[in-house]
Structure 1
């Protein structure tokens, strides 16, 4: 009799475990109605539940432009390598269980925080146009592409992200940026921040030596970044071309002081001026100095 009871309880226990292995697509597990509707419309969720096999088969998810307010329940999809949830109404996003994630697009939401410390496989992160105040990327050592522009970041530590090749951190509140550990970096946009003077000196000095680096520095007259001719020269020496936005497109930096000098010399009737070709380019000589057509002084 005792053996029969033990067997019965064992059977009940195993049955209970089997029932708990499936995840119901309901309001408890997935509280957002629109996210729930998306899941139910998928082949793997059509029967209203998710089996372990179905969960293991979901490696990519696209839920953009759906007005989703919460992605609670996303943690069940532990095999996800790519999540695209841009243009929603997300205020929080918990991905600490989605450790296989390699690509995340969560731009254009209302996020104020983003915890990615468990997502160590992440290689591509696009979290721009949110309200993120700070972000810890110290555990994301595989990160190659980062766009965190249009947030409220006051600091950005990239010292552990040594394989980063492309970074856009424009339109934040950054006053400094150290790139001394980012030897793979090839393209960087820092425009619309507050980097100038000694901190711009430090940023330029920290740029890795490259062959064709691109640094987008100043967007418009309201940009609080400041970069000088000597800083541009230092960056150029390390293989970086500096760009500023002219209202229509990004253009190679031209020293505004030099432009003003050329204009002033052109209006100065007493100045000695010449215009000629040198090395196949137009050169303007004014007040004993040579300037190119864009107004930058020729060495």
Structure 2
């Protein structure tokens, strides 16, 4: 796909203007509070970054401030699992939109412990099980993978968020044990949950996240290192599932209005993949009732619209 027309536009100025525009909007939504450590984040923060596959990085606002990536970590876990076990993964987790809340237990029971897709909580816990079973130290492997992608060794887990996740993870534990009862969790449930909570508690900035995921915009090859992170086919598959299931119950609306594969997290981050061009990452902690960042949605929508970045 040819995005050369985009370079005629003054992207750095527009990115800065978008952050200023977002800050001027009336405050709507609220910071996630079901994980107490997230409730303490300053809600007025706004960051935006765009990393292109030809090596450019545009950013503004709080784009260098670290935040809890939460469900955005599900992308990285999925890529690791796909690389490790191949197509057998799809016998244990499907690739269909859920149509129910991301933490629904009802659907999981009805469908015999097989999650609808890897981006709802049950699916991500299943992916965590794969990683725990196939890595002797899955948490270390996960953080090392992120450091490799971001090109930065100074990336860590927020211990306060990690402990908070563990203390308030009863619903996730219920899903894990339900899948275990159907034989779809193979490792020790507590180890699987520890891994899942750990990966959700990783702290990254908009700049680091955008840079880390550029391989998904470049057919599986990380443009900064020229290393193959995943196959071209798997990059296509990840982007396809992101398009239908990455934005919780707002995925259809996001595809309709923005037209990019994307993933959000309740830490306030959103990443959007532009195949053949780059990755957008927006962050602001206040969430709408779907669990997506209000200002993040606004900025990505405006940027994609202005630059004509829809894949459709």
**Normalised by the size of structure 1, how large is the TM-score?**
0.23
The structure richer in strand per residue is: 1
The structure richer in helix per residue is: 2
Higher relative contact order (CA 8 A, sep 6+): 2
